[in-house]
Amino acid sequence: MSTLKNSVRPDLQTICEWIKPRSRILDLGCGDGTLLAMLKKERDVNGYGLEIEISNIVKCVNANVNVIQADLNAGLSGFDDNAFDYVVMTQALQAVERPDRLLNDMLRVGREGIVTFPNFGHFRSRLQLFFGGHMPVTPSLPSKWFNTQNIHLCTLQDFEQLCIESKIQILQRTVVDRDHRTGLGMKLFPNLLGEVAIYRIKNH
């Protein structure tokens, strides 16, 4: 479900810093297993990834990462409540059928959730829509409107509104650009200048 196939993943390093050592992790849409391999090495976690693409399953096996083939749109009914310390979902929220339901399921299965998504409120998207009059195509969102997997794009504001409605508590938030930088501008105007949003959340 990764949408940033050919670009760097600025969100992964931040997640790695947020996760406590030796935690139990579930990574939704784990792709080729990069994050789990990184967490295993740097944080000594015990992790499982869920992934739908068979080619990625093979890559996970090559990377020695635990992987379970599954469709996130089918939900997490096979997992017990609080089975994990963290349920992580990087760059997949915007590509699932019902992000709201999956978020609730994440926080049922995990004590905390970590979610990252491309911020549709970034100024580049706003400019393209406002002045260009067309759906934005940016380095973070490289697909066209007709072939994108991103069917539920949102802005920071949208996401935070959903958290309020779903009684989800935001524990930590960071925004970064593609080069993994964060700056004063992004801190002041995250919804305008942040390209990738990273949230740590839990149920109220």
Partner 1 sequence: MPDTLPEDSIGIVTSQTMHFDTSLALTCGRRLDSYDIIYETYGTLNADHSNAILICHALSSDHHAAGYNSMDDRKPGWWETCIGPGKVIDTNHFFVVCINNLGGCKGSTGPASINHDTNKPYGPDFPIVTVKDWVESQARFADKLNIKTWLAVIGGSLGGMQVLQWNIDFPERVKHAAVIAAAPKLTAQNIGFNEVARQAIMHDVDFHEGRYYEHNTAPRRGLMLARMLGHITYLSDDAMREKFGRELRQGKISYGFDVDFQVESYLRYQGESFVDRFDANTYLLMTKALDYFDPAADYDDDLSKALSHARANFLVISFSSDWRFAPERSREIVKALQDNDRDICYAEIEVPHGHDAFLIPIKDYLDVFGAWMKHLVSEVSA
Site for partner 1, rule CB under 8 A: 24, 46, 48, 54, 57-58, 60-62, 64, 66-70, 78-80, 83
Residue 124 and residue 136 in contact, taking contact as beta carbons nearer than 8 Å: yes
Percent helix, strand and coil across the chain, each to the nearest 5: 35, 25, 40
Q: Which of 64, 157 has the CB closer to partner 1?
A: 64
In whole angstroms, the minimum distance from the beta carbon of 62 to partner 1 comes to 5
In whole angstroms, the minimum distance from the beta carbon of 60 to partner 1 comes to 7
| Residue 129 one-letter amino acid | L
In whole angstroms, the minimum distance from the beta carbon of 147 to partner 1 comes to 21
* Residue whose C-alpha is closest to residue 3's, from 109, 117, 80: 117
Residue 76 and residue 107 in contact, taking contact as beta carbons nearer than 8 Å: no
* DSSP states of 133-173: -S----SSS-S-TTT-S--S-B-HHHHHHHHHHTTEEEEEE
In whole angstroms, the minimum distance from the beta carbon of 55 to partner 1 comes to 8
Q: Which of 28, 193 has the CB closer to partner 1?
A: 28
Return the structure tokens found at 81.
Answer: 């409540």
Q: Which of 53, 100 has the CB closer to partner 1?
A: 53
Q: Which of 79, 159 has the CB closer to partner 1?
A: 79
CA atoms within 13 A on the CB side of 11: 28
Q: Which of 79, 199 has the CB closer to partner 1?
A: 79
In whole angstroms, the minimum distance from the beta carbon of 82 to partner 1 comes to 13
